[in-house]
């Protein structure tokens, strides 16, 4: 049954293919013989001098001072070029330098650079180049610095190639080179910073200005290889295409330049500023083989601050120790963005993480994300996370992804009209703490979730309510259609918070005790309208009608379960309350309360057996007025307070739609018009205008508007405060600068009840980049990637100390145990006060396991990442 249904969603490819392809490519990649560093010269060297005409050097040359090449210089095969100090070779705008099969190095210390001015030319082929600070520096400018760099070994350089400012499309070729720098010629010992750095290189007329690699797909031979560096490729304010490269063992470096330490340990990093939009293409969206291979990095790919990304057909693997935290991380970016057809495996936190997108279309499609083995206790990987700070102008699509062995498959928060479609999610709950989620949606207005398969696995002896194939919180006016769920433990689907106007159709639920759970449903709504007898029962039509949803339970408990605080009489589903204008007649739902509905047989492929239960007429204004009349009448009641989150959620849903009719010169009437006028007289329009300004990066105007508000209730106070914290702490690059005081303020809001305190709660959670795990009627505080019941350890990664927040007694001394990755206990300290920082000075940089106990009970355990001193 399950396989039949999934194949209707989309054609499945052989599931073993990504694993087989990954294995073959890794074996091939690790067969690369990393080139030997430069061999030292012998005998007497010839002093290098300026070149103004045409010259050829061969044999052994020493650079004892800065020299200039304004003519044509060839250094022939078999030569040696030795730098005796911090010196530079400058190729002027009229000069050309060609070096082949030569050993280039610093005799006793680092040398400076080979600088190529705009108009100058540099050809490097088959050389061994080491000890450079900015080894090849293409200055560019009004004219291009001409580069052809192929077949070289860049060994132990601080930066291998640095390409600077240019407006236009560069003809530079950088192919078939090796970059690695485990040990620079410096004291104390340091690792190299960058393989390639591209700064302020912009395409004209769209597209990219520079290609790094061959520009063709991987074919069992690579173009450039990056190994043992702080960062493989770094781009800033630049339009770059990166294809057919390998990255391995990109580690945290202790000597990154000022302001760059946050990017260490990442294979590819692309950034821009608040004023510029850059394009970064990594791989391809039209190839059938891998474009780049990334292994053993802290982060595979990071794009931040107005970078328009297209990331396709890459393999990103964290290896068996899960030292990789995140496969792909895209933050504060904009434009037409695509993350597609990548294979991402074995990471500790996120496969794909997108955060706070700006005025963009974001598509996350056809990716394969998995663990090779099931996660263990303390490991809580997320397959895909897309988390926005507010309701911006972002069109999000998460579709056709295959996700295996994640604790949470897909998490989406703070989006309007998100589409989550045709994903196959196999998730697992590996521990007693927290919950496992297949697809989890929070604060997603008008979301469409359809044609997905979500199946859970209990990785411990017993899961009691901890496997949730589908979870929806505060998702109003959503369409949940034709989804398959399996092994949902207690529930196949849970709806909590404000889910008014959300509709379920054609869903198939297997092997759960209950089909659908309504837990803590909030928000007053009008009584049901239409031919309904009694309150809600099953989300299913009478047997004589086509089934809207079918449930094949593991027990006989009712398909429809209601939480203790939910008043079922206040809940309505759209097809239960359809008035005449929706042009639908017939029987609505079965309401006899006798237990589970009989199975209806195999799912049918014919549309007649399962169709949308509402068909809208063309009179959109009439539908709109009918839809909101009940809400309007309720909120127009003088006895109803308008200071809770429910009012704001309804107002947001209503306000966006109402503006369409007002702008079209259509008149609202009756209670709906009164409702509109009542909202117009409040701060709500201004608050949502501020959200729109933030989404479009108009921070100064947003700050002025936010300051002008006089809050009238708790919801507005919290909302204004979160806006202010965000707007006052954005730097010139569009990056949020988090202070300790700000973090404490945000935590106070993030842990509040969303219904009573409104949208600020979700915004605070997004700014903290945390995901909170509900416990039916309670909320647990949880940090993404380091989940535990009610305690969070921060900062992590850290440099000098850690602290703890959460639901525990600060006055009770704690026992802290820290072990290395082999399991050997390094620190065991009792009588620790958890309201003070715990100093980590005895520990060097690396990955550790930490356990915290109070009164013989474990209150926290997880991974601890310690950065090298000086970061």
Kindly report, residue by residue over 139-152, the tens digit of the pLDDT: 998 899 999 999 99
Provide the pLDDT for residue 418.
94
Report in angstroms the alpha-carbon separations of 384 from 72, 321, 351, 639, 770.
Answer: 54, 20, 6, 44, 14
CATH of the domain at 859: 2.60.40.380
Provide the pLDDT for residue 810.
75
Residues 414 and 481: their CA atoms lie apart, in Å, by 20
With a cut of 90, say whether residue 409 has pLDDT above it: yes
The residue among 348, 372, 397 that closes a domain is 348
Q: State the burial class of residue 542 (Cβ atoms within 10 Å of its Cβ: 0-12, 13-18, 19+).
A: middle
Query: CA 109, 115, 119 angle in degrees (round to 5)?
Result: 170
Provide the pLDDT for residue 514.
66
Provide the pLDDT for residue 773.
63
With a cut of 90, say whether residue 310 has pLDDT above it: yes
Tell the residue number behind the tokens 């809940």, with chain if given.
571
What pTM does this model have?
A: 0.73
Task: Over range 309-334, report the average pLDDT.
Answer: 86
Provide the pLDDT for residue 583.
30
Q: State the burial class of residue 591 (Cβ atoms within 10 Å of its Cβ: 0-12, 13-18, 19+).
A: middle
Kindly report, residue by residue over 632-688, the tens digit of the pLDDT: 776 666 455 556 666 776 677 677 778 777 766 677 888 888 888 888 888 888 988
CA proximity to 294, closest of 335, 360, 256, 245? 245
Provide the pLDDT for residue 15.
33
Kindly report, residue by residue over 768-811, the tens digit of the pLDDT: 887 776 643 333 322 222 333 457 777 766 777 787 777 677 77
763: containing domain: 621-775
Q: Are residues 753 and 810 in the same domain?
A: no
With a cut of 80, say whether residue 447 has pLDDT above it: yes
Q: Are residues 304 and 173 in the same domain?
A: yes
The residue among 775, 799, 833 that closes a domain is 775
Beta strands per DSSP E along 498-589:
503-505, 507-521, 549-552, 560-562
Provide the pLDDT for residue 622.
67
The residue among 303, 325, 348 that closes a domain is 348
> Which of 436-440, 817-821, 822-826 is least confident?
822-826
CB 786 within 8 A of CB 780: no
Q: What is the mean pLDDT of the chain?
A: 76
Provide the pLDDT for residue 663.
67
Residue 520: partners with Cβ closer than 8 Å, 6 or more residues away: 496, 497, 563, 565, 566, 776, 777
> Which of 350-354, 368-372, 608-612, 738-742 is least confident?
608-612
- Using a pLDDT cut of 70, give the percent of the chain over it: 71
Residues 127 and 110: their CA atoms lie apart, in Å, by 18
Q: Are residues 806 and 692 in the same domain?
A: no
Residues 66 and 598: their CA atoms lie apart, in Å, by 87
Q: Which range has highest mean pLDDT (9-18, 121-130, 189-198)?
A: 121-130
- At residue 105 the predicted structure's pLDDT band, cuts being 50, 70 and 90, is very high
Residue 817: partners with Cβ closer than 8 Å, 6 or more residues away: 825, 827, 828, 850, 851, 852, 853
With a cut of 60, say whether residue 690 has pLDDT above it: yes
Q: Are residues 628 and 757 in the same domain?
A: yes
Tell the residue number behind the tokens 């001409």, with chain if given.
146
Within-domain flag for 208: yes
CA proximity to 321, closest of 351, 352, 347? 347
Task: Over range 156-163, report the average pLDDT.
Answer: 96
Phi, psi of 649 (to 5 degrees): -65, -45
H/E segment holding residue 705: helix 699-708
Q: Are residues 211 and 327 in the same domain?
A: yes
With a cut of 60, say whether residue 21 has pLDDT above it: no
Provide the pLDDT for residue 101.
96
Report in angstroms the alpha-carbon separations of 298 from 85, 231, 361.
Answer: 35, 10, 27
Q: Are residues 766 and 793 in the same domain?
A: no
Within-domain flag for 761: yes
Kindly report, residue by residue over 62-95, the tens digit of the pLDDT: 999 999 999 999 999 999 999 999 999 999 999 9
Within-domain flag for 60: no
Task: Over range 584-589, report the average pLDDT.
Answer: 28
Structure tokens at 57: 């050097």
Q: Are residues 694 and 665 in the same domain?
A: yes
Provide the pLDDT for residue 411.
97
Phi, psi of 408 (to 5 degrees): -130, 125
Residues 225 and 244: their CA atoms lie apart, in Å, by 9
With a cut of 80, say whether residue 107 has pLDDT above it: yes
Q: Are residues 287 and 182 in the same domain?
A: yes
Within-domain flag for 280: yes
Kindly report, residue by residue over 823-853, the tens digit of the pLDDT: 667 788 887 888 777 888 767 777 677 888 8
Kindly report, residue by residue over 187-238, the tens digit of the pLDDT: 777 888 999 999 999 998 878 999 999 866 655 566 899 999 999 999 999 9
Residues 637 and 381: their CA atoms lie apart, in Å, by 47
- At residue 288 the predicted structure's pLDDT band, cuts being 50, 70 and 90, is low
Kindly report, residue by residue over 713-767, the tens digit of the pLDDT: 888 899 999 999 999 988 766 678 888 889 889 989 988 887 778 888 888 888 8
Within-domain flag for 667: yes
Structure tokens at 238: 């630049």
Kindly report, residue by residue over 233-265, the tens digit of the pLDDT: 999 999 999 998 999 988 776 667 755 666 888
Q: Are residues 685 and 749 in the same domain?
A: yes
C-alpha 255: how far from its chain's center? Answer: 27
- For the residues of 640-691, what is the DSSP string, one character each? S---SHHHHHHHHHHHHHHHHHHHTTPPP-HHHHHHHHHHHTSSHHHHHHHH
Q: Number of structural domains, the chain? A: 3
C-alpha 100: how far from its chain's center? Answer: 43
Within-domain flag for 238: yes
Q: Are residues 821 and 753 in the same domain?
A: no
Within-domain flag for 167: yes
Q: Are residues 742 and 816 in the same domain?
A: no
Task: Over range 99-123, report the average pLDDT.
Answer: 96
The strand pair at 549-552 and 507-521 is best described as parallel
Contacts 24+ apart (CB under 8 A), 833-837: 834/804, 834/808, 834/810, 835/810, 836/803, 837/801, 837/802, 837/803
Q: Are residues 282 and 343 in the same domain?
A: yes
Q: State the burial class of residue 825 (Cβ atoms within 10 Å of its Cβ: 0-12, 13-18, 19+).
A: exposed
């Amino acid at each position: 049954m399950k396989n039949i249904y999934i194949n209707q969603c989309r054609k499945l490819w052989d599931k073993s293919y990504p694993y087989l392809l990954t294995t073959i490519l890794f074996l091939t990649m690790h067969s690369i013989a990393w080139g030997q560093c430069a061999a030292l010269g012998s005998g007497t060297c010839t002093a290098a001098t300026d070149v103004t005409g045409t010259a050829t050097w061969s044999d052994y040359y020493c650079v004892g001072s800065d020299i200039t090449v304004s003519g044509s210089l060839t250094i022939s095969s078999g030569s040696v070029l030795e730098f005796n100090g911090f010196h530079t070779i400058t190729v002027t705008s009229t000069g050309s330098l060609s070096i082949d099969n030569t050993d280039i190095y610093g005799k006793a210390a680092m040398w400076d650079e080979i600088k190529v001015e705009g108009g100058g030319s540099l050809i490097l082929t088959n050389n061994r180049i080491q000890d450079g600070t900015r080894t090849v520096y293409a200055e560019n400018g009004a004219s291009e610095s001409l580069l052809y760099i192929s077949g070289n070994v860049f060994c132990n350089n601080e930066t291998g190639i640095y390409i600077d400012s240019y407006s236009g499309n560069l003809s530079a070729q950088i192919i078939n080179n090796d970059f690695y720098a485990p040990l620079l010629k410096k004291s104390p010992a340091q690792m190299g910073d960058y393989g390639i750095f591209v700064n302020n290189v912009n395409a004209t007329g769209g597209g990219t200005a520079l290609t790094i690699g061959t520009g063709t797909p991987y074919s069992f031979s690579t173009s450039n290889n990056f190994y043992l560096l702080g960062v493989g490729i770094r781009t800033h304010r630049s339009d770059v295409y990166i294809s057919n490269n390998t990255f391995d063992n990109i580690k945290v470096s202790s000597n990154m330049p000022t302001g760059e330490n946050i990017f260490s340990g990442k294979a590819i990093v692309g950034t821009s500023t608040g004023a510029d939009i850059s394009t970064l293409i990594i791989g391809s969206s039209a190839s059938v083989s891998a474009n780049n291979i990334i292994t053993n990095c802290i982060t595979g790919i990071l794009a931040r601050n107005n970078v328009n990304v297209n990331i396709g057909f890459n393999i990103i693997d964290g290896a068996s120790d899960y030292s990789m935290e995140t496969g792909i991380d895209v933050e504060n970016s904009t434009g037409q963005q695509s993350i597609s057809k990548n294979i991402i495996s074995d990471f500790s936190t996120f496969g794909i993480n997108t955060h706070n997108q700006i005025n963009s279309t974001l598509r996350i499609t056809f990716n394969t994300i998995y663990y090779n083995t099931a996660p263990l206790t303390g490991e809580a990987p997320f397959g895909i996370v897309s988390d926005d700070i507010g309701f911006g102008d972002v069109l999000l699509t998460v579709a056709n992804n295959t996700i295996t062995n994640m604790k949470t498959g897909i998490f989406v928060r703070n989006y309007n009209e998100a589409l989550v479609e045709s994903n196959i999610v196999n998730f697992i709950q590996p521990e007693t703490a927290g919950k496992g989620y297949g697809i989890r949606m929070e604060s997603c207005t008008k979301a469409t979730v359809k044609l997905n398969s979500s199946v859970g696995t209990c990785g411990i002896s017993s899961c009691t309510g901890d496997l949730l194939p589908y979870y929806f919180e505060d998702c109003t006016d959503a369409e949940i259609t034709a989804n398959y769920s399996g092994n949902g433990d207690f529930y196949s689907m849970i709806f909590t918070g404000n889910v008014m106007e959300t509709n379920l159709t054609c869903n198939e639920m297997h092997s759960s005790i209950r089909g659908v759970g309504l837990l803590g449903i909030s928000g007053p709504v009008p009584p049901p309208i239409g031919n309904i007898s009694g309150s809600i029962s099953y989300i299913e039509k009478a047997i004589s009608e086509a089934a809207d949803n079918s449930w094949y339970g593991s027990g006989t408990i009712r398909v429809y379960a209601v939480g203790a605080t939910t008043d079922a009489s206040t809940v309505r589903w759209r097809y239960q309350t359809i008035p005449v204008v929706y042009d639908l007649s017939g029987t609505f739902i079965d309401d006899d309360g006798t237990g589970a509905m009989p199975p209806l047989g195999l799912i049918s492929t014919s549309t007649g057996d399962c169709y949308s239960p509402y068909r809208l007429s063309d009179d959109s204004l009439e539908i709109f007025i009918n839809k909101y009349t009940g809400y309007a009448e309720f909120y127009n009641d003088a006895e109803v307070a308008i200071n809770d989150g429910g009012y704001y959620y309804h107002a947001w849903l209503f306000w966006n739609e109402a503006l369409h009719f007002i702008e079209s010169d259509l008149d609202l009437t009756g209670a709906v018009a009164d409702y509109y006028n009542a909202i117009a007289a409040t701060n709500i329009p201004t608050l949502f205008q501020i959200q729109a300004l933030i989404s479009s990066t108009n921070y100064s105007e947003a700050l002025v508007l936010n300051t002008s508000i006089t809050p009238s209730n708790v919801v507005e106070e919290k909302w204004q405060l979160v806006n202010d914290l965000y707007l006052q702490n954005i730097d010139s690059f569009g990056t949020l600068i988090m202070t300790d005081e700000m973090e404490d303020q945000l935590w106070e809001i993030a842990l509040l009840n969303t219904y009573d305190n409104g949208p600020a709660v979700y915004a605070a959670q997004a700014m903290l980049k945390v995901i909170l795990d509900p416990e039916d009627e309670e909320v647990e505080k949880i940090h993404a990637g380091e989940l535990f019941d009610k305690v969070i350890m921060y900062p992590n990664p850290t440099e000098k100390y850690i602290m703890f927040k959460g639901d525990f007694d600060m006055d009770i001394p704690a026992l802290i145990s820290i072990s290395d990755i082999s399991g050997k206990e390094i620190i065991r300290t009792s009588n620790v006060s958890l309201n003070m920082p715990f100093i980590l000075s005895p520990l060097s940089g690396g990955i550790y396991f930490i356990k915290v106990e109070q009164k013989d009970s474990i209150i926290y355990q997880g991974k601890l990442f310690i950065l090298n001193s000086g970061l």
